[in-house]
Amino acid sequence: MTSRRSMLRAAGAAAATALAAVDACRAQARAWPERTVRIVVGFPPGQTTDLTARMLAEKMGPMLGQNVIVENRAGAAGIIAHEIVKNAPPDGYTLLITSSGPLAINPTLYKRLPYDPVRDFTPVVLVNASAMYLVARASLPVGSVREMIALVKANPGKFTYGSGGSGVTQHIAMEMLKDAAGLDLLHVPYKGSPAMVTDLLAGNVDFCFEPSTSILPHVRTGRVKALAISSAKRSDVTPEVPTVAEQGVPDFEARTWAGILAPAGTPAPVVEQLNKVLNAILASPEIGGRIRQNGSVPGGGTSAEFSDLIRSEIARWGKAVRASGAQVD
């Protein structure tokens, strides 16, 4: 009997502790947010992910009743920002907006990555997904992927491609194309896409893969040539631009995406509140329309669905990194 009473007391104490923890989370969620929320971006101002963060922050503030600010902590292919958020208190006041490169590519690209994209973060919501455009500088005598391949193969090692940094999605996508088509191109990494695009417009690099948001305006003005889109199907935004796969590189597909995460351990009610707010913003005609206008597809969905996407993309891009032979450290 004594043993039974002890077991019952222990079970009761454990249940009380669990209930207290749940009550504490609920109380925190009811009180949250009581102060400014910050969204950390691992890229420079003006880059696609930064622009998306600012667009969301502008709408989140009034809905949450607090200021939402964007803090740029660029460097090391997004690693600096991920470490900051990983080590932040899991209270909902520090969020991370990130993309497929740091979450799905870095785990294979870096041997000693100081964060685990699955273990160290709580997914909040997928923000958008976008194909990339393979483009060439305007003065280059090519107008298609086949012509690009012929030109580069006739002049091995003489042409360059730019990216926003070693290990970003654009870098690995081009390495995938190089491997698939047998191309000898020199990689020129920059500190963020804006600097790279500036040099592309100036004719200092020859090719790049770049998301629609930052490159389509220049395609439309004729300052660069769009050779292909990296998706499996043509985009409704640019139906005249064929896919890479259509032009002699079978099964080629590479997408970028962005999403919001919180530090691991952030209370579920806070994550649910953020998810609800962000889903409403992404579904709005204004924000959804702006995302579509830029050639992307608005995200949304549950935290669990975003978590599943991250895991599947780690496997897919990991295979691509290994096939390309790319390694940063």
Per-domain residue ranges of the chain: 35-129+255-324, 131-247
Determine the pLDDT at residue 6.
54
> What is the residue-wise DSSP string for 207-244?
EEEEEHHHHHHHHHTTSEEEEEE-SSS--SS-TTSPBT
136 contacts 224 by C-beta, under 8 angstroms: yes
Determine the pLDDT at residue 57.
98
Provide the token pair at 93.
């006041």
Determine the pLDDT at residue 4.
47
Determine the pLDDT at residue 212.
85
Per-residue CA distances from 222 to 147, 217, 271 (Å)? 18, 9, 43
CA torsion, points 15, 16, 20, 23, in degrees to nearest 10? Answer: 70
CA–CA separation, 310 vs 126, rounded Å? Answer: 10
Per-residue CA distances from 324 to 48, 105, 130, 176, 179 (Å)? 25, 12, 22, 6, 6
Class for the domain spanning 35-129+255-324:
alpha beta
Determine the pLDDT at residue 165.
83
Question: Which H or E run contains 97?
Answer: strand 94-99
Determine the pLDDT at residue 47.
83
What are the mean pLDDT values of the chain's consecutive 10-residue runs (329 residues total)?
A: 50 47 48 96 89 96 98 90 98 96 92 95 96 96 98 97 88 92 95 92 97 90 97 91 96 92 98 98 96 88 98 91 78
Same fold, 35-129+255-324 and 131-247: yes
CA–CA separation, 204 vs 200, rounded Å? Answer: 6
Provide the token pair at 299.
């995200």
99 contacts 194 by C-beta, under 8 angstroms: no
- What are the residues whose beta carbons fall under 8 Å from the beta carbon of 34, sequence distance 6 or more? 66
Determine the pLDDT at residue 329.
67
Is domain 131-247 given the CATH code 3.40.190.10 in the classification?
A: yes
